[in-house]
Amino acid sequence: MAADMRLPTIQKPVSLTFSAFDRKDLVVPGDVITSDTGFMRGHGTYVDEEKLTASVAGEVQRVDKLICVKPLKTRFNGEVGDVVVGRITEVQQKRWKVETNSRLDSVLLLSSVNLPGGELRRRSAEDELTMREYLQEGDLISAEVQSVFSDGALSLHTRSLKYGKLGQGVLVQLSPSLIKRQKTHFHNLPCGASMILGNNGFVWLYPTPEQLEEEAGGFYTSLEPVSVSDREVISRLRNCLLALAAHKVLLFDTSVLYCYESSVHHQVKDILKPEVMEEIVMLTQQKLLDQEG
Amino acid sequence: MLKSKTFVKKTRSGGVMKIVREHYLRDDIWCGSEVCTECKQESTALQRDPCLESNLCSYPHYVIPDTNVVLHQIDVLEDQVIRNVIILQTVLAEVRHRSAPIYKRLKDIVHEKEKNFYTFTNEHHRETFIEREPGESANDRNDRAIRVAAKWYSEHLKKSESDTGPLKVVLLTNDQGNKQKAEESGLLVYKCEEYIKSLIGNPELVDRLALSNDDKNDITSSKVLFPEHLPLSRIQAGLKNGTFLQGTFRASRDNYLEATVFVQGEGEESTEVLIQGLQNLNRSVYQDVVAVQLLPRDQWVAPSSVVLQDEGAAKDDNEEEGEEEKELRVSAAEAARKPTGRVVGIIKRNWRPFCGMLNASIIKGSTRHLFTPADRRIPRIRIETRQADALAGQRIMVAIDGWPKHSRYPNGHFVRSLGSAGDKETEQQVLLLEHDVPHQAFSQAVLSFLPTMPWEITPEVMVNREDLRSLTVCSVDPPGCTDIDDALHCRELDNGNLEVGVHIADVSHFIRPGNAMDKEAANRGTTVYLCGKRIDMVPELLSSNLCSLRSNVERLAFSCIWEINHEAEILKTRFTKSVIKSKASLTYAEAQMRIDDTTQTDDVTKNLRGLNKLAKILKKHRILKGALTLSSIEVRFHIDSETHDPIDLQTKELMETNSMVEEFMLLANISVAQKIFDEFPDCALLRKHPAPPPSNYDILLKAAKSKAVEIHTDSAKALADSLDVARVDGFPYFNTLLRILATRCMMQAVYFCSGMDSDFHHYGLASPIYTHFTSPIRRYADIIVHRLLAVAIAADKTYPDLMDKQKQSALSNNLNYRHKMSQYAQRASVAFHTQLFFKSRGILNEEGFVLFVRKNAIIVLIPKFGLEGTVFFDSKNKVVPKVVFDEEGPSLTVEQHTFHIFDRVMVTISLDASNIQHQKIRMSLIEPVVPGVSVSAPEIEPLAKKPRLDR
Amino acid sequence: MGNVVQRQTRGALRFQLFRKMAGLELLSDQGYRLDGRKATELRKFQARMGVFAQADGSAYLEQGNTKALAVVYGPHEVRGARSRIRHDRAVINCQYSMATFSTAERKRRPHGDRKSTEMSLHLKQTFEAAVMTQLYPRSQIDIYVKILQSDGGNYSVCVNAATLAVIDAGIPMRDYVCACTVGFVDETPLADLCYAEEGGGVSSLALALLPRGGQIALLQMDARLHQDHLEALIEAAMTACKGVSKVLDQVVRQHLQEASVPSAE
């Protein structure tokens, strides 16, 4: 088997918008943002001797009187309504602990899941005992943020048919800041696969289910073999996602799709080669700009 | 401003180890030349037009010596003529690794402004750094680095303008290969000898050139005279497995073929190994650290009592030695044997420049001569000089360059001339040099720390300082004293008690720790008093002016003030920094007169009377406690004010006032010692005087017994008491003689650091603790004690070295050494002046006493001059009389007459000038008359001129 | 050529002798140190942030020949003993280790020895002073630092590398933490000691500083030094730390420019 070896090189992210350089709104920890006391202190800032000071490195965001600094890279700061993809880490009494790239593990209460046998079923003691049969450690789920606890932990729910246990597919872990907020995070891509863009940076790629009407949200996972063509599409998508992430392109259905389209001339495994990556991302950005303009 | 490059250096030590070090290359290292306009340097060392006139290089130029030139020709570089020299970092580093003393000398030269030496940090310069190439040795790499730097300089200086054409650089090297390569790359390069010889107007510099190896080959025969020295690795292996011993080589003063090696054993144990014969001595020089191998037991010998001097005039490597050696063996074979060994290698040479005289070669016009050092323990040295005629009869200094195995004598070179032998100035120089007394004028660096004149007391100075200007303070010192470091006061307090203050010059106020002046003073350790000359420890401005507590000027002082009752019991002690204004500076005699003259009733006199009264009581207390009053005769010369020749000799007279001042100084010293020890138990600098071992007293006991007097030596008190009662009727001088003998039994008092020792007792003063506080102008120990005390009373800050007992201990070792040397120098100076005196007086007949009896001689003390001399009964060219020595007596029977200790004799004194380097006083017996031994009293020549009295 | 031969043998002998006796001259009269720096000059810095994708934050830092890799995970759920959970703040967990190949002589234990444990503790104390842990109750922040090559100032380099990694992880800090090791030679403080200098019998001091406010996060010294010199030494250390902070600042800003997502919206 031929292996492709190369020397390490420094890669610069390709960007069509050159305005990124010398931006004034970038601060580093300890930078004083303003000494005007009229502003409110938001995330990523603190007040030191009446001066509003940044505590993280990132860009300053101002909403009316509120000043925040958004770090480049951070753990997921969930908000109510966010779609997340997560992994069960622990089964406790009446709740599951879910790792969602948040700074504390999220909680999925037994009462926040749809159990087989109707939405309004009472949770019995028996259910508590069989919790592990529904979801066990290591299982992946998609869910929505129901509420945020005072210590910042998230409470999740899967009370919709679109959420629930995930079956066969590929998980890609990316930075949460790359996920663009949209109306929907569930996409059936025309290329033949589906994608859940979790707000927490976890992206789930899976073959498009055949019957959408089938009772989903359950705890059943299909173990049917997936066809080679589907697997190739999913792999290509995964690599496209990585390419986009490497060049800090925001992820949403269109950007992923354009990227997928741009990559079809290359073999799946070649996409991760830096020069190919660069070319594909360039094309994608071009297309995005065209579409905007 | 900083361009950095990292590179990798590999060194191996032990196993395989890769050491990576960074090496930054800079482009902000300047050339140091005044001419240069490119370099942005702040100060320049190299002059615009370097004035070294040379036949070889008629253009203005700077000189770059390579490492070997610096190592071997440091004497030349030190000459004032050699200026504008560039010392490369490569050279400096190599010198540092190879010879610490030369490195220090080189650094001293570089620091001297007038020498215009510049150190160029070539190893860190971007353009002159080179990497070692594969297969290149470290030495070759360094040579190349030197060439590259020289090249850089010549290119660099080309660019700058100069009135006399571009400046050039001249590389000096003695290495043929290096020279050739340098020539190939277009550098101006000369051998050091060539260059020095070409210098116009300085022919004597040539003599200071050290012999290089090439020259040595042709002087000496190729015959190998000495066994090869073992390499260091073998020596170390041998030391480890015990076959060799390491020790300090001590040549014998009397026998050039004999020496001992002092081997410091573990703990207190140390042994001496005897070495005999040239082969076994194997080119060791006095004070070298050597490795010795013990000979098998059957080859052990005893030290010979024969006096042998290496007298073969210029018999370079001849073979007569064999006989002398044989003679040595035979005489030694019978007596008790000692461990004997041979030197197998030299671990460290301890060569210094030696003083001595030239033995001109018999061959006319020869340039090679032998040099005889003044110190008999140093072998003669072969030097090369063209000025032999000029140097004959002069005292000169010579440095050893090396001692090849096929040469009978070490090779050396002429360093400088000190002046003609016998001349007072010259002899003084010699004795200073030989006793290692630092006596050069103070350097600019040192003087820069002097306070600016006019000096006055500012308010900042007054912080933590008491104003005692109103007190009636006076000082009492010997006549002619300009460095007055103590003053006293005494007054009655309202409660009837007395307040006594001892005020000591506050030298530590002027000498701040760690600066150049402090370091210099610490190194000198003590002021050295020679006859008619004083070698100051601190610059004169301080010693004779600002620190000297002269009358009617305001001076800073460190005061120790007691409250004392009339029974001389101390009620209170306190210490303070102060300002005083002395009311009178008196001599001992003046003070004594005032005390005795009942008509005087001024404050100063009252003061003195009070002090005197207390002192007497204090002394009584002290003696009751067992303090010893010992005796040694100190001599004073009356010096002719014009010729500075001694015209009369007088033993010093002690007055009551001497003892008065002394008493309070002792008291102050003891009080301070206690205080600093309480405050700093680990690092107080104290002085102790160990009790002598009982065997030391043997001679004293025997001597006393011969006069039926009993001396007890169980304790200091017993000794003091029995000395007090020792009297012999009709022999008033007996007691003094006995005390002189007792003094000889004592140990040396030493400084030490309290953290390093547990025995603090001062035997002579019978004090449990003692230090030196009262003479900071002339003793460095006192300065340290002042600093400690100042910290203890929170008047000054401390500094790290003061609290470091290791450093404190090292310092006290130096002080002890300097103190000892200064005493030797002082004695040597007295001896020299005594000789001068007798030279001018001709032959004298005097009365003396037998002080010691030896196997073949008696040692006679002349009380009038405090002079000691030996009367030999067996001289070389006379028939030896029958001599019987009785060790028990001890007595010596010559023919019929028996000499005992303390016998009164008459001797005639004359100067023996047969050996110009070692002139000595010769004494011959007149009375009692012993046939064949004594001489008839010669006529005393009348004095040409009546001696004037000393003013 | 006799000259050359003799010089080699004698030179070698003397060299062995005097190296032991004289030691190294750490500061020459011309004011240059062993490696050619002046007393206050720092070593060459090279740094990269975000070297690992998996970790929340990571950084690689070279200070001269001392090379360190720092990785930050968190804040995340406390793993292991639940007793470590603090309800008012995050716990910081540090681990310092040295690669077996980092020193001239190969190390047997890369971590867990007394020195490493102590160093870990020091790092923990340093970062507890700087990271705003109160924002993340009940969670944990892991800081792992590894020395890849050791050439003096290990503690300082670790702190600096970890600072970069923490910033990379987007964890709020009051300020940068900058550390520097300084030593005292010939009455002169030397900044940023290299291994040869640290070993040369110098009293050295490591100081971690929050440069903007001038607060000291950690000061560590286990050599003897006279009290009078301490102030001067700390002063020099602070100056050096401020120098370090300038360099780190540049690195972070550069990284920000390169890595920031173009605000397309």
Q: State the smallest CA–CA distance between residue C110 and chain A in angstroms.
A: 27
pLDDT category of residue C180 using cuts at 50, 70 and 90: very high
Pick the CATH number of B220-316+323-421 from 2.40.10.10, 3.40.30.10, 2.40.50.690, 1.20.1530.20: 2.40.50.690
Q: Pick from C1, C3, C67 the residue to mutate for testing the B interface (most B CBs within 10 Å).
A: C3
Position A61 pLDDT exceeds 80: yes
For residue A97, give the chain C residue with the closest CA: C77
What is the rounded average pLDDT for all residues in chain A? 85
Average pLDDT over residues B416-429: 79
Tell me which of B186-200, B269-283, B302-316, B380-394 is least confident: B302-316
pLDDT category of residue B167 using cuts at 50, 70 and 90: confident
Instruction: Pick the closest to residue A174 from C53, C117, B191 (CA basis).
Output: C53
Q: Pick from C89, C131, C167 the residue to mutate for testing the A interface (most A CBs within 10 Å).
A: C167
Q: Do A152 and C136 touch (CB under 8 A)?
A: yes
- The answer to whether residue C254 neighbours chain A at the CB level (below 8 Å) is no
- The answer to whether residue C252 neighbours chain A at the CB level (below 8 Å) is yes
Q: Do C173 and A56 touch (CB under 8 A)?
A: yes
Using CB atoms, which chains have 3+ pairs under 8 A with B? C
Position B409 pLDDT exceeds 90: no
Query: Could you say which of C3, C29, C64 has the minimum Cβ distance to residue B174?
Result: C3
pLDDT in tens, A81-139: 999 999 999 999 889 999 999 989 999 998 888 877 665 666 778 888 888 888 889 99
Q: Pick from B98, B804, B806 the residue to mutate for testing the C interface (most C CBs within 10 Å).
A: B98
Q: Do C257 and A21 touch (CB under 8 A)?
A: yes
Q: Pick from C71, C77, C247 the residue to mutate for testing the A interface (most A CBs within 10 Å).
A: C77
Q: State the smallest CA–CA distance between residue A105 and chain C in angstroms.
A: 6
Q: State the smallest CA–CA distance between residue B177 and chain C in angstroms.
A: 7
Position C241 pLDDT exceeds 90: yes
Indicate the fold that domain B26-209 takes in CATH.
Rossmann fold (3.40.50)
**Contact present, C131 and C171 (Cβ < 8 Å):** yes
Interface of B with C in 512-571 (CB under 8 A): 514
pLDDT at position C14: 34
CA distance C240 to B945: 78
Distant-in-sequence, close-in-space partners of B521: CB < 8 Å, separation ≥ 6? B511, B537, B538, B780, B783
pLDDT at position B653: 64
Position C209 pLDDT exceeds 80: yes
Position B267 pLDDT exceeds 60: no
User: How big is the A-C interface in CB pairs under 8 Å?
Assistant: 113
Tell me which of A39-43, A59-63, B368-372 is least confident: B368-372
Q: Pick from A19, A24, A28 the residue to mutate for testing the C interface (most C CBs within 10 Å).
A: A28
pLDDT at position B481: 80
**Contact present, A84 and A107 (Cβ < 8 Å):** no
Position A142 pLDDT exceeds 90: yes
Average pLDDT over residues B762-779: 87
Retrieve residue A228's tokens: 């080679």
Examine residue B681 and say whether the peptide bond preceding it is cis (omega within 30 degrees of 0).
no
pLDDT at position B318: 43
Average pLDDT over residues B249-268: 75
C-chain CB neighbours of A53 within 8 Å are 174
Query: Could you say which of C57, C76, C257 has the minimum Cβ distance to residue A20?
Result: C257
B-chain CB neighbours of C225 within 8 Å are 800
Q: State the smallest CA–CA distance between residue A274 and chain C in angstroms.
A: 16
Tell me which of A165-174, B485-494, B754-763 is least confident: B754-763
pLDDT at position B494: 87
pLDDT at position B646: 62
pLDDT in tens, B86-95: 999 889 888 8
Query: Could you say which of C4, C64, C149 has the minimum Cβ distance to residue B177?
Result: C4
CA distance B801 to B480: 36
DSSP three-state, residue C189: strand
Retrieve residue B35's tokens: 């001419």
Q: Do C138 and A75 touch (CB under 8 A)?
A: no
pLDDT in tens, B508-534: 888 888 888 888 888 888 888 887 788
Query: Could you say which of A20, A75, A152 has the minimum Cβ distance to residue C56?
Result: A75
Average pLDDT over residues B112-126: 86
pLDDT at position C18: 35
Tell me which of A142-156, B39-53, B110-124, C183-197 is least confident: B39-53
**Contact present, A183 and A189 (Cβ < 8 Å):** no
Question: What are the residue ranges spanned by the domains of chain B?
Answer: 26-209, 220-316+323-421, 444-624, 657-828, 842-927
pLDDT in tens, B132-153: 888 888 888 888 999 999 988 8
Q: How much of chain B exceeds pLDDT 70, in percent?
A: 83
pLDDT in tens, B318-347: 444 444 555 555 444 455 677 888 888 888
Q: Do C264 and A29 touch (CB under 8 A)?
A: no
pLDDT category of residue A156 using cuts at 50, 70 and 90: very high
Return the higher-pLDDT residue of C140 and B655.
C140
Q: Do A104 and C263 touch (CB under 8 A)?
A: no
CA distance B815 to B817: 5
Inter-residue long-range contacts of B617-620, CB under 8 Å, 24+ positions, other chains counted? B617/B567, B617/B568, B618/B568, B618/B663, B618/B664, B618/B667, B619/B659, B619/B663
For residue A89, give the chain C residue with the closest CA: C77
- The answer to whether residue A42 neighbours chain C at the CB level (below 8 Å) is no
- The answer to whether residue C256 neighbours chain A at the CB level (below 8 Å) is yes
pLDDT at position B309: 57
For residue A43, give the chain C residue with the closest CA: C172
Classify domain C44-259 at the CATH superfamily level. GHMP Kinase, N-terminal domain (3.30.230.70)
Return the higher-pLDDT residue of B504 and A12.
B504
pLDDT at position B639: 62
CA distance C19 to B712: 55
Return the higher-pLDDT residue of A128 and B56.
A128
Q: Do C169 and A17 touch (CB under 8 A)?
A: no
Q: Do A177 and C138 touch (CB under 8 A)?
A: no
pLDDT at position A219: 63
pLDDT at position B313: 43
Interface of C with A in 68-87 (CB under 8 A): 74-77
What is the rounded average pLDDT for all residues in chain B? 78
- The answer to whether residue A235 neighbours chain C at the CB level (below 8 Å) is no
**Contact present, B755 and B802 (Cβ < 8 Å):** no
Position C19 pLDDT exceeds 90: no
Average pLDDT over residues A247-273: 90
Q: How much of chain B exceeds pLDDT 90, in percent?
A: 2
Position B880 pLDDT exceeds 70: no
Query: Could you say which of C173, C255, C264 has the minimum Cβ distance to residue A29?
Result: C173
For chain C, the residue count is 265
Chains A and C in direct contact, meaning 3 or more beta-carbon pairs closer than 8 angstroms:
yes
**Contact present, B125 and B25 (Cβ < 8 Å):** yes
For residue B230, give the chain C residue with the closest CA: C13
DSSP three-state, residue C177: coil
Average pLDDT over residues B386-408: 79
pLDDT category of residue B635 using cuts at 50, 70 and 90: low
Amino acid letter for position C199: G
Indicate the fold that domain A18-71 takes in CATH.
OB fold (Dihydrolipoamide Acetyltransferase, E2P) (2.40.50)
Q: Is the ipTM of this complex over 0.90?
A: no
Q: Which residues pair with B414 in a beta bridge?
A: B398
The helix-helix angle for B603-625 and B656-679 (nearest 10°) equals: 70
Average pLDDT over residues B676-704: 83
pLDDT at position B164: 60
Query: Could you say which of A13, A29, A152 has the minimum Cβ distance to residue C258?
Result: A13
CA distance B59 to B50: 9
Position C4 pLDDT exceeds 50: no
What is the rounded average pLDDT for all residues in chain C? 84
Position C236 pLDDT exceeds 50: yes
For residue B92, give the chain C residue with the closest CA: C28
Does the fold of domain B842-927 match that of domain B26-209?
no
pLDDT in tens, C47-106: 999 898 889 999 999 998 899 999 999 899 888 788 888 889 999 999 999 998 888 778
Average pLDDT over residues B351-357: 82
User: B203-207, B454-458, B579-583, B732-736: which has the highest mean pLDDT?
Assistant: B579-583
C-chain CB neighbours of A72 within 8 Å are 168, 170, 256, 259-261
Q: Pick from A33, A61, A104 the residue to mutate for testing the C interface (most C CBs within 10 Å).
A: A104
**Contact present, B703 and B741 (Cβ < 8 Å):** yes
Using CB atoms, which chains have 3+ pairs under 8 A with C? A, B
Position A197 pLDDT exceeds 70: yes
pLDDT category of residue B311 using cuts at 50, 70 and 90: low
pLDDT at position B321: 46
pLDDT at position B949: 36
pLDDT at position B940: 54
Average pLDDT over residues B375-404: 80
**Contact present, A133 and A124 (Cβ < 8 Å):** no
Question: For the structural domain made of B842-927, what CATH number should be given?
Answer: 2.40.50.140
Question: What are the residue ranges spanned by the domains of chain C?
Answer: 44-259
B-chain CB neighbours of C9 within 8 Å are 231
Position C238 pLDDT exceeds 70: yes
Position C213 pLDDT exceeds 70: yes
pLDDT category of residue B13 using cuts at 50, 70 and 90: low
